[in-house]
Amino acid sequence: MMVESASETIRSAPSSQNGVGSLSGQADGSGGGGATGTTASGTGRDVTTGTDSNGEMSPAELLHFQQQQALQVARQFLLQQASGLSSPGNNDSKQSASAVQVPVSVAMMSPQMLTPQQMQQILSPPQLQALLQQQQALMLQQLQEYYKKQQEQLHLQLLTQQQAGKPQPKEALGNKQLAFQQQLLQMQQLQQQHLLNLQRQGLVSLQPSQASGPLQTLPQAAVCPTDLPQLWKGEGAPGQPAEDSVKQEGLDLTGTAATATSFAAPPKVSPSLSHHTLPNGQPTVLTSRRDSSSHEETPGSHPLYGHGECKWPGCETLCEDLGQFIKHLNTEHALDDRSTAQCRVQMQVVQQLEIQPLEPRDPHLGHWSQYHPHCSQLNPVPDSSSFSKVTVSAADSFPDGLVHPPTSAAAPVTPLRPPGLGSASLHGGGPARRRSSDKFCSPISSELAQNHEFYKNADVRPPFTYASLIRQAILETPDRQLTLNEIYNWFTRMFAYFRRNTATWKNAVRHNLSLHKCFVRVENVKGAVWTVDEREYQKRRPPKMTGSPTLVKNMISGLSYGALNASYQAALAESSFPLLNSPGMLNPGSTSSLLPLSHDDVGAPLEPLSSNGSSSPPRLSPPQYSHQVQVKEEPAEAEEDRQPGPSLGAPNPSASGPPEDRDLEEELPGEELS
DNA sequence: CATCGAGTAAACAGTC
DNA sequence: CGACTGTTTACTCGAT
């Protein structure tokens, strides 16, 4: 019936046609989340720093990264020890059983699996201190360097823009610069505080040569110091070709040798590795490839020692020689209980972050849409590749070699980029196809929770399938049921992207609701509401994890155990998410309960459910396991087979806060697999 | 190349 | 009558 061929042509139509006006058009119709139009993305953002104008890298974020770095280094140091310092650049080596002085159990663990406590136990205080100190020093250096770069960049930017005849009013630039400077100032202040903190934490002396030695050989750098800046700038990723168009935004630092070189390597999976590898193939990790700006670190020097005085912030004690300096450090900047406690807290924070779902690949994706709002449109826009140069800043690269979402409790980076986005979604800007959520991407719930703000404001198409989004919307409600209109509202409320082209996606939503068995319509007093049949939902999800050789490959390539674990966990989390998410589902009986689900991922065909699932009744009888949608007046009776019956109803009806469930889910990864 | 899942478009029927 | 809602069909695309 349809106009044949039309599809092709029509496909591009929506975007080009309504792309413009539809935003306000019908979006409101759905009661859409307030402030619709405001998001017009792009425009209002300050691209200069590669972050949201409001969300420019805050000092807090910086601190966070620093802390993370320190911990990463510590972990790696541990790792190094475990592997007997044997592995110059060989990831696998870490598995070597030659654990020296380190308990086997530890040696076999991924550094990421170590708890702060463990780390502390394993590392002797001096080692710990040494590591922290070392890291601290590097941070200081890099920060200084970064400030310089930033300023250079700013100048460059100004020049560029002026040359390019950028109509940007001087005022704006001026303000920008001013704002930037203020920010820097603020950062410096915070940095100072941080330093003091670390100081208190007892970053005592150590022989640089000693600490840096092993660290240098570490295969995978945590966040390479030099990359920190990149993160801020949203430095571009290698594989981002067409970005030039946006470059002038100041995101690129192509002029900076340091960063430039680090991007020569291949993208994908383990960008971090490439980041930390110098042209000559040597890992750069902590060896500061710092340029002239900062003093060279020689075996006999100390990052915090220079010109005969202690460079510790706020401390300018004069020291005759290094020895004296070290002594000074030991006495003046020692460790006390309080700082130790702080350190622990920091470690835990970092650890928490590490546990968070990671992003499989294709880190670029930032708020590209902000610069190219149209890219997010449904039509396959050829130039969509021109994301902003956002990217895979090293900060996103964890030692595990995978890219982790930047989001974190500590770092309000949300707006920076949509982490969970698999390469699939934004990428090619292609049509909305290939949502990744259902695959091995991070769990949608956590992903959403973490990047809530981002999706809410950025006109970026979420990397989730309609089905998963709908489900999410439904599960987020206490009743686990929503009317169509409520679902619409959720979409518009949660995603700026869905504030336009409403006809299109609404149709898609309806289509999905009808099409997928997992969505069950229940007649309610107030009309019909939709619920989710978790069983069905799980059923329909192919155990991608298992099957996808690519994924596996990716995971492995990146890899450290940690990476693997993380990825795996993320995947597991995603699959089990539903259960966790819905209190009601937690019961063992129900749907194969999460744990079981994991097998899927592992390779086992998903069957647990099959028992009854296979025979799943036609969609008409709403088997709303989904949650006992007791709510509906309609007795969920239909429930046949599912023996899980018992546990089903019991669970907290909705009472148990709904949204919070996410937390559960996020925690999940932690346990399993251990 | 076939198949499958997903997204998009649209026709159509029922309800409000 | 028109907007919504829900169902269904057709087609394209990308991945496997």
User: Domain limits of chain A?
Assistant: 127-157, 305-334, 445-540
What 3-state class would DSSP assign to A594?
helix
Nucleotide nearest to A430 in CA–C1' terms:
C13
Which band of pLDDT confidence, cut at 50, 70 and 90, is reported for residue A508? Answer: very high
Q: Which CATH class is domain A445-540?
A: mainly alpha
Task: Compute the average pLDDT of residues A111-137.
Answer: 42
Show which positions of strand B are touched by protein (CB under 7 A). Answer: 5-12
- Find the Å distance, CA of residue A306 to C1' of nucleotide C9: 76
The amino acid at residue A106 is V
Show which positions of strand C are touched by protein (CB under 7 A). Answer: 3-16
Report the pLDDT value the prediction gives residue A466, as an integer from 0 to 100: 93
Distance CA A435, CA A465 (A): 5
- Find the Å distance, CA of residue A579 to C1' of nucleotide B4: 26
- Find the Å distance, CA of residue A186 to C1' of nucleotide B10: 56
Q: How many CB atoms lie within 10 A of CB A212?
A: 20
Report the pLDDT value the prediction gives residue A640, as an integer from 0 to 100: 35
Sign of the CA dihedral with A392 first, then A395, A400, and A406 last:
negative
Report the pLDDT value the prediction gives residue A512, as an integer from 0 to 100: 94
Q: Is the CB of A1 under 7 A from strand C?
A: yes
Report the pLDDT value the prediction gives residue A310, as an integer from 0 to 100: 64
Residues A564-597 as b/e (b if ≥16 CB within 10 A, e otherwise) read bbbbbbbbbbbbbbbbbbbbbbbbebbbbbbebb
What 3-state class would DSSP assign to A50?
coil
Beta bridge pairs of residue A305: A302, A310
Q: Is the CB of A29 under 7 A from strand C?
A: yes
- Is pLDDT above 90 for A513? yes
pLDDT digits (tens, 9 = 90+) for A398-425: 333 333 333 333 333 333 444 433 333 3
Which band of pLDDT confidence, cut at 50, 70 and 90, is reported for residue A505? Answer: very high
What's A335's DSSP letter?
A: B
Q: Is the CB of A9 under 7 A from strand C?
A: no
Which band of pLDDT confidence, cut at 50, 70 and 90, is reported for residue A515? Answer: very high
Mean pLDDT of chain A: 46
Q: State the nearest residue by CA to the C1' of C16.
A: A548
What 3-state class would DSSP assign to A530?
strand
What's A283's DSSP letter?
A: B
Report the pLDDT value the prediction gives residue A315, as an integer from 0 to 100: 61
Instruction: Evaluate whether A531 touches A632 at the Cβ level (below 8 Å).
Output: yes
Report the pLDDT value the prediction gives residue A489, as an integer from 0 to 100: 92
Q: State the nearest residue by CA to the C1' of B12.
A: A1
**What is the DSSP code string of A459-496?**
----SS-HHHHHHHHHHTSTTS-B-HHHHHHHHHHH-G
**A563: enclosing H helix or E strand:** helix A561-581
> Which phi and psi (to 5°) does residue A515 adopt?
-70, -45
- Is pLDDT above 90 for A530? yes
Report the pLDDT value the prediction gives residue A133, as an integer from 0 to 100: 52
pLDDT digits (tens, 9 = 90+) for A431-488: 344 444 443 344 677 777 888 888 888 888 888 999 999 998 999 898 888 999 999 9
Q: Is the CB of A337 under 7 A from strand C?
A: no
Report the pLDDT value the prediction gives residue A368, as an integer from 0 to 100: 32
Instruction: Evaluate whether A150 touches A229 at the Cβ level (below 8 Å).
Output: yes
- Is pLDDT above 70 for A538? yes
Report the pLDDT value the prediction gives residue A670, as an integer from 0 to 100: 30
Report the pLDDT value the prediction gives residue A490, as an integer from 0 to 100: 92
pLDDT digits (tens, 9 = 90+) for A295-321: 333 445 665 677 777 665 556 667 777
Kindly calculate the radius of gyration of chain A based on its CA atoms and give it in whole angstroms.
26
- A170: CB partners within 8 A, 6+ apart: none
Task: Compute the average pLDDT of residues A192-202.
Answer: 44
pLDDT digits (tens, 9 = 90+) for A219-273: 333 333 333 333 333 333 333 333 333 333 333 333 333 333 333 333 333 333 3
Distance CA A180, CA A268 (A): 32
- Is pLDDT above 80 for A628? no
CA distances (Å), A549 to each of A102, A370, A464, A603, in order?
Answer: 34, 33, 21, 11
Instruction: Evaluate whether A591 touches A624 at the Cβ level (below 8 Å).
Output: no
Report the pLDDT value the prediction gives residue A152, as an integer from 0 to 100: 54
Report the pLDDT value the prediction gives residue A462, as an integer from 0 to 100: 87
The amino acid at residue A492 is T
- Find the Å distance, CA of residue A503 to C1' of nucleotide C1: 21
- Is pLDDT above 80 for A35? no
- Find the Å distance, CA of residue A252 to C1' of nucleotide B8: 36
* Mutual angle of helices A337-355 and A561-581, in 10-degree steps: 70
- Note the Cα A344 to chain centre separation in Å: 23
Q: Is the CB of A380 under 7 A from strand C?
A: yes
**What is the DSSP code string of A193-248?**
HHHHHHHHBT-----HHHHHHHHHH-SS-SS-GGGHHHHHHTPPPTT--TTHHHHT
- Is pLDDT above 90 for A15? no
Task: Compute the average pLDDT of residues A584-612.
Answer: 32
- Is pLDDT above 60 for A580? no
Distance CA A188, CA A199 (A): 16
- Is pLDDT above 60 for A184? no
pLDDT digits (tens, 9 = 90+) for A71-120: 454 444 434 444 433 333 333 333 333 333 333 333 333 333 333 334 44
- Find the Å distance, CA of residue A507 to C1' of nucleotide B11: 13
Report the pLDDT value the prediction gives residue A182, as an integer from 0 to 100: 52
Report the pLDDT value the prediction gives residue A500, as an integer from 0 to 100: 83
- Note the Cα A549 to chain centre separation in Å: 23
- Find the Å distance, CA of residue A89 to C1' of nucleotide B13: 66
Distance CA A526, CA A357 (A): 38
Report the pLDDT value the prediction gives residue A308, as an integer from 0 to 100: 75
Structure tokens at A8: 């092709």
